[in-house]
């Protein structure tokens, strides 16, 4: 297959497997999604959903969250790891939402990335899933699979994002980023496939004989 054929095969296969793409992080609005994605750094979605059930019972909006102490927040989010940093970020960004945005999450990459604990990937998830703005958040699964599928050189996640945006139609970005994550978790797991086992890897590269060493950066 040439690259265009590979891209279409991937689109078709992922649509067949995952025609529905629910956001795996439990949330009710843009604010709770923002908090959940922030907590998901170096933590599983399953654990985040357990933690946010208690956190959002304590406070599920900027005003209530800002009224809590950082220690109260930290005590709840501790199972997610990096608790002191995440608790401070949640508290401060809640204050900033009240101070600068009337308590509403802004639909802007630039404004979102000003908040503590919110990088480009987190902002991209919120823009894509809460506001429907085309984005291609690249997590570790997507960065790895893009390399195994020959879609990027894997220098870094920024380059992977640029390459995927160039290859895939803009109107599919928001769905595809979830489909690839779902596929990576179910079929092409880290430290198992290495481009040799899963259906898409073996279909794209049927003659591959060596494990692919991919960049994690």
Please list the active-site residues: 121, 139
Q: What HEC string does 140-204 produce?
A: HHHHHHHHHCCCCCCCCHHHHHHHHHHHCCHHHHHHHHHHHHHHHHHCCCCCCCCCCCCHHHHHH
Residue whose entry in the numeric block shows the structure tokens 């640029």: 162
Sign of the dihedral through C-alpha 148, 167, 185, 135: positive
Sign of CA dihedral 82, 134, 10, 163: negative
């Amino acid at each position: 297959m040439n690259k265009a054929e590979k891209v279409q095969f991937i689109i078709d296969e992922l649509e067949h497997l995952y025609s529905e793409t629910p956001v795996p992080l439990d949330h009710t609005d843009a604010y709770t999604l923002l908090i959940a994605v922030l907590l998901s750094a170096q933590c599983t979605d399953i654990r985040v959903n357990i933690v946010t059930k208690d956190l959002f019972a304590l406070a599920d909006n900027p005003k209530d969250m800002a009224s809590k102490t950082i220690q109260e927040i930290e005590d709840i989010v501790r199972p997610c790891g990096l608790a002191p940093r995440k608790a401070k970020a949640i508290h401060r960004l809640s204050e900033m939402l009240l101070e600068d945005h009337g308590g509403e999450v802004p639909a802007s990459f630039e404004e979102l990335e000003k908040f503590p604990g919110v990088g480009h990937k987190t902002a991209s998830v919120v823009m894509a899933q809460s506001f429907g703005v085309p984005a291609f958040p690249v997590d570790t699964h997507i960065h790895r699979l893009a390399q195994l599928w020959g879609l990027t050189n894997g220098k870094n996640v920024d380059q992977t994002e640029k390459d995927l945006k160039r290859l895939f139609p803009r109107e599919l970005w928001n769905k595809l980023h979830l489909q690839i994550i779902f596929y990576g978790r179910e079929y092409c797991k880290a430290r198992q496939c290495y481009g040799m086992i899963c259906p898409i890897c073996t279909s794209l590269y049927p003659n591959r004989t060596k494990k692919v060493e991919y960049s994690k950066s």
